[in-house]
């Protein structure tokens, strides 16, 4: 009887220790996997997505400073001087990764908006390089900033006259890098576009002057 008692105590101690070790190792793995998973998501958002179906959107980019729209011209030049509904202002936006990185090209010309090593915006027929990829960043004021994927910290930007500004001279808080997505004039929203916000305010010179004066 005494021997059986010792045997039961031994078995109880062994089982208790075994369960403790399993619980400890599980907790250890769980704690370590969290940062690893975060790192995995970060890495996946920086590489081209070859798995998912490519999402394509069509919209215009309204420049906060020029009061007009970004356009890609046939001579590969890019500016923010197009009126609402202009053929060259219609942009085709292709998703590039699991995150919010996109490639933007002019629907009329087929040239992609890219950035060279000097921070200048240029048009390219082949938009596969990272210099032709931009990360969409939705700001607190509901405007969108477009940061170049190759040159981190450099943004697509335009002056009040609609001229491109060098990416090396841009910062996220500057008005020059702020844009509003708008559906092309006369373009009806479809299921594809309902997942994104578009604003079609009746902008004009008077509201533009009022906006500038109020900001000062």
Q: Where are the domains of the chain?
A: 56-199
CATH class of 56-199: mainly beta
Residues 36-54: tens digit of each pLDDT: 645 544 554 455 545 455 6
d(CA 132, CA 149): 8
Contact 182, 83 (CB under 8 A): no
Q: Taking the complete model, does pTM exceed 0.85, yes or no?
A: no
pLDDT for the residue 198: 44
10 Å CB burial of residue 103 (0-12, 13-18, 19+) is: buried
Q: Going by C-beta distance under 8 Å and a sequence separation of 6 or more, which residues neighbour residue 73?
A: 79, 88, 106, 109, 123
Q: State pLDDT tens for residues 162-185.
A: 999 999 999 999 999 999 999 987
| Residues contacting residue 102 through CB under 8 Å, at least 6 positions apart | 93, 94, 95, 96, 133, 134, 135, 136
Residue 185: predicted pLDDT: 76
Contact assessment for residue 70 and residue 91, using Cβ atoms and an 8 Å cutoff: yes
Q: Determine the pLDDT at residue 184.
A: 85
User: What's the pLDDT score for residue 150?
Assistant: 96
Please check the confidence at residue 158 and state whether its pLDDT lies above 60: yes
154: left (phi over 0), alpha (psi -120 to 50) or beta: beta
* Most confident of the ranges 29-33, 41-45, 86-90: 86-90
If you average pLDDT over residues 177-205, what whole number do you get?
61
* Structure confidence at residue 154 (pLDDT): 98
Q: What was the pLDDT predicted at 31? A: 47
Q: Give the residue from 139, 123, 117 showing the smallest Cα distance to 79.
A: 123
Instruction: Answer positive or negative: Cα dihedral of 182, 183, 186, 189.
Output: negative
The whole-number pLDDT of residue 72 equals: 98
Q: Which residue, among 61, 150, 172, 32, has the nearest Cα to 71 in the 3D structure?
A: 61
**CA gap 88, 167 in Å, rounded:** 22
Question: Could you tell me the pLDDT band of residue 204, with boundaries at 50, 70 and 90?
Answer: very low
Higher pLDDT, 9 or 95: 95
Indicate the pLDDT class of residue 10, thresholds 50, 70 and 90.
low
Question: Taken in order 186, 179, 164, 160, is the CA torsion positive or negative?
Answer: positive
């Amino acid at each position: 009887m005494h021997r059986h008692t010792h045997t039961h105590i031994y078995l109880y101690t062994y089982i208790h220790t075994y369960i403790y070790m399993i619980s400890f190792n599980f907790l250890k793995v769980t704690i370590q996997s969290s940062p690893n998973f975060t790192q995995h998501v970060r890495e996946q958002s920086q590489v081209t997505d070859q798995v998912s179906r490519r999402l394509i959107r069509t919209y215009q980019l309204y420049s906060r400073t020029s009061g007009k729209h970004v356009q890609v011209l046939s001579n590969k030049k890019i500016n923010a001087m197009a009126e609402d509904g202009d053929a060259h202002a219609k942009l085709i936006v292709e998703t590039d990764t699991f995150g919010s990185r996109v490639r933007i090209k002019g629907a009329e010309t087929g040239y992609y908006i890219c950035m060279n090593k000097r921070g200048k915006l240029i048009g390219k027929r082949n938009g596969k390089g990272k210099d032709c990829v931009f990360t969409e960043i939705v700001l607190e004021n509901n405007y969108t900033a477009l940061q170049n994927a190759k040159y981190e910290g450099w943004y697509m930007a335009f002056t009040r006259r609609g001229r491109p500004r060098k990416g090396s001279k841009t910062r996220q808080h500057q008005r020059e890098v702020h844009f509003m997505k708008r559906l092309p004039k006369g373009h009806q929203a479809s299921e594809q576009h309902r997942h994104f916000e578009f604003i079609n305010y009746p902008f004009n010179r008077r509201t533009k002057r009022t906006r500038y004066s109020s900001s000062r």
